[in-house]
Structure 1
């Protein structure tokens, strides 16, 4: 009976993961294309200025969101039987986001010249205009986050995926591509990004108005409702700040410390591309995390700890296995991946990318450990972990950038990510007695070793034949493409020969159409 419950939970998680990964896969492809277009169209230096402007925008959004998107996901379902109160809560979310977005946007606009004085000198002729243009996006981005939460709260996430993973990247690629084809420089490209967001915002408004059966009310909220709303939403700003501090502060510090401690002018661009490529390893984990929290909470509250451990173990093994192959490929073909963007990126960014591959594989290797803590009444540990990660990231980045330059930033962030993930596994084991690992990991590890040998051999053999057939980009694409196909065949074949676990065979037989 426990095994049936575990399989049912895994089936639900897997369906959610499949849906999410389809959208996120398209999103990653479009964002990869966008970054490639930007690097090729602007060059490494101006791409760095563009990226740093977006990072500042991300930090500013911590104070424009104010937890309103999470408040929507709490109060819209909670007051389903009280539609008037639900409308008032939604109106508070929209109004709070709009007012905070406009206020912080004006502040960023006014502070732009001051911020320009601290960035890489090569950015300074353009950076004030870049920041000021991006400031116009703050209220739009914040409201877009609210729209996405409305669809999630109404359990129609396909529209949330449509907005976040399809509309935004697609319209941005088209808009930026047209601007660059017309000869736009950095400021024109940023303006095209703003136009793209305005178009997407209008489409999102139309979706909310036509697909969501709820409309906001902007007046009539009582004092008790205001207290209830902000008592929930405002504390979440602290958690959101910790997340942004942990995930984005290294790139921000590279941008503001580059002029003093980093010799290359392409530093921000190299670092950004390395994070994008490394982040691909987290696609499986992100997919499984879409529905794992709610199912884990239900199993824990029903005291089905054996089922929870079985689910936790299998999801963790799957995320590790699915992340292992791209990690091996990215490590072996790191230079070829970076050459696709820029020769200078390949010359100076290989070490940075390798460190991010290690860090993100560590992330994938611990599975949804953070959500296990959160859903088993240890959410205070997740907040503490987030802030520990953020503070350590700031301190180590400052020290390592001063000492080692660009590679020091990647080393600092990778060290902190690996350490915090080890800590999460220990915390889960200590607090709830769950441990995700077993001897079943031997098979993917052996398959990974065979794959690495095969890909290294393929790369060595091909090098003598493909050199000179075209530009470095063409050579890199041929080597990476052939090596990737060979590696995938070896990895899949090795897993099959070593023997797919019986529980996985049964799950696939029941849930994958023949």
Structure 2
């Protein structure tokens, strides 16, 4: 087994372990141990720190993944690429950090809601330190991936960091740490993974920190910076999608609302997990189709993935919606249940994202790949504008509605773009039938009486949904992949 296969297998195992740890950590454990305003503070600090780190990186993480093969040469320490990779972004970070510090009064003015200003102000320095460690880790991670050492860095963030955070929260809950101590421990988790990756690169003999003039002769710096600038815009657009809601909720409403929204967002993220797993496989496959000029294979794959995503996504969306009282009951903090409507709207947006299939991957790997940046920037801009209009009036519901509308609108527009540019569209009547089947099964399950024991209610409604929906899929044959799996299982 080659190094790429070994790393891929390890990454798969680590990813699934991390998903389990992450869901328990962010959706069940932290909300039980921390108040909504405290979770809101953490989301604001991480969002600001991530934005600062991305601005400082100048897209060099993407540049490394794209151009490192030109610099690869173990005997010369890869021609001094690592010092270049670290020096430019860390130098830029100095200016970004100074700007963030000088802009501190302006940032604090966003959070002028009583105790919120004091909370953000007291931990503003933590945000700057967090931005530094996020930047350092992201640079080292791109370098490690380019060397095909990706599994250890995945373990650090997917598993170790999450365990460190939940351990710190447990120490806070048992009053071993004050809240300020917990925030410092939270910062420490970012420092730990960055420094651990630095040490790991030294252990495997890839920590080449000696600068070399040869690095400037491999590829023109202008070319690297232009590619990095393009990647920077795309990265920031993607970051805005997942952070701007909590930032704007915290500034226009309160940190408490931001904390409630973060939990709603985490719950809805469970719907996107199978889509992301599929896209990891789909990305290189679609790129190969483009290389071969295999239009028929591309269209068939587009339709099959859309149908499969609809079948799985509709089931998960209805299942999560049915069991929201159970999920919020596990948290044991009634304040978080105010995010119920937000979860439903976020689920609708993520389901639309999944149903529209792999349109984003088709665009980004096509000859018209530059349009993907326009869609990403348009999505980010739409969310900002809609949040500005809807949050003051509707609060949590406004943030989730803006996310749903922007995500659905851009995906439908991108689907139209694929159809208009290449003549491919993935929909047929099966998609509508699957949605109606899921809605009908969910309605039957919801109509069943609940029990005082929430676990029994979960089993009754979840079991009914699964039985009706699963039987409908098998009898109809609408999703051949499901039928094949069922036949395989019956033969075992």
Q: TM-score range by the shorter chain?
A: 0.7 to 0.9
Match of 2:319 in 1: 329
Match of 2:358 in 1: 368
Q: Deviations over 1:165-190 (max 9, x none)?
A: 22222222223323432343432221
Matches within 5 A, 1:72-87: 72-80=64-72, 84=76, 86-87=78-79
Match of 1:272 in 2: 262
Change (3 A) 1:506 1:355: closer
CA contact (8 A) 2:46 2:127 kept: yes
Paired residue secondary structure (1:462): coil
Change (3 A) 1:16 1:498: farther
Change (3 A) 1:503 1:280: closer
Q: CA deviation at 1:33?
A: 3.1
Match of 1:49 in 2: 41
Measured in 1, the distance between the counterparts of 2:317 and 2:9 equals: 20
Match of 1:244 in 2: 239
Matches within 5 A, 1:79-478: 79-80=71-72, 84=76, 86-119=78-111, 120-211=113-204, 215=208, 217-220=210-213, 221-222=215-216, 225-258=220-253, 266-341=256-331, 342-346=333-337, 348-441=338-431, 444-445=434-435, 447-457=437-447, 460-463=448-451, 465-466=452-453, 475=454, 478=456
Change (3 A) 1:231 1:123: same
Selected match of 2:19 from 28, 33, 37: 28
Measured in 1, the distance between the counterparts of 2:96 and 2:357 equals: 36
Q: Deviations over 1:103-149 (max 9, x none)?
A: 43454345445422321323222211222112112222112122332
Q: CA deviation at 1:385?
A: 0.9
Measured in 2, the distance between the counterparts of 1:44 and 1:182 equals: 18
Change (3 A) 1:161 1:99: same
Measured in 2, the distance between the counterparts of 1:213 and 1:513 equals: 50
Q: CA deviation at 1:84?
A: 4.2
Change (3 A) 1:84 1:307: farther
Q: CA deviation at 1:18?
A: 9.0
- TM-score, length-normalised on structure 2? 0.87
Moved more, 84-93 or 431-440: 84-93
Moved more, 137-146 or 73-82: 73-82
Change (3 A) 1:266 1:214: closer
Q: Deviations over 1:451-509 (max 9, x none)?
A: 3134314xx4224x43xxxxxxxx4x553355334433443343233337446666898
Measured in 2, the distance between the counterparts of 1:88 and 1:422 equals: 45
CA contact (8 A) 1:327 1:361 kept: yes
Change (3 A) 1:38 1:184: farther
Measured in 2, the distance between the counterparts of 1:174 and 1:231 equals: 42
Measured in 1, the distance between the counterparts of 2:486 and 2:95 equals: 52
The number of aligned residues is 482
Measured in 1, the distance between the counterparts of 2:263 and 2:433 equals: 32
For structure 2, the 5+ residue unaligned runs are 1-5
Measured on the aligned residues, the alpha-carbon RMSD in Å equals 3.1
Q: CA deviation at 1:293?
A: 2.3
Q: CA deviation at 1:201?
A: 2.2
CA contact (8 A) 1:60 1:104 kept: yes
Match of 1:9 in 2: none
For structure 1, the 5+ residue unaligned runs are 1-14, 260-264, 467-474
Paired residue secondary structure (2:449): helix
Moved more, 104-113 or 403-412: 104-113
Measured in 2, the distance between the counterparts of 1:305 and 1:375 equals: 13
- TM-score, length-normalised on structure 1? 0.84
Moved more, 127-136 or 15-24: 15-24
CA contact (8 A) 1:443 1:495 kept: no
Measured in 2, the distance between the counterparts of 1:513 and 1:286 equals: 30
Q: CA deviation at 1:219?
A: 3.3
Change (3 A) 1:320 1:165: farther
CA contact (8 A) 2:307 2:355 kept: yes
Measured in 1, the distance between the counterparts of 2:193 and 2:11 equals: 20
Match of 2:476 in 1: 498
CA contact (8 A) 1:450 1:494 kept: no
Paired residue secondary structure (2:427): coil
Measured in 1, the distance between the counterparts of 2:7 and 2:474 equals: 25
Measured in 2, the distance between the counterparts of 1:175 and 1:16 equals: 30
Change (3 A) 1:164 1:202: same
Measured in 2, the distance between the counterparts of 1:444 and 1:177 equals: 43
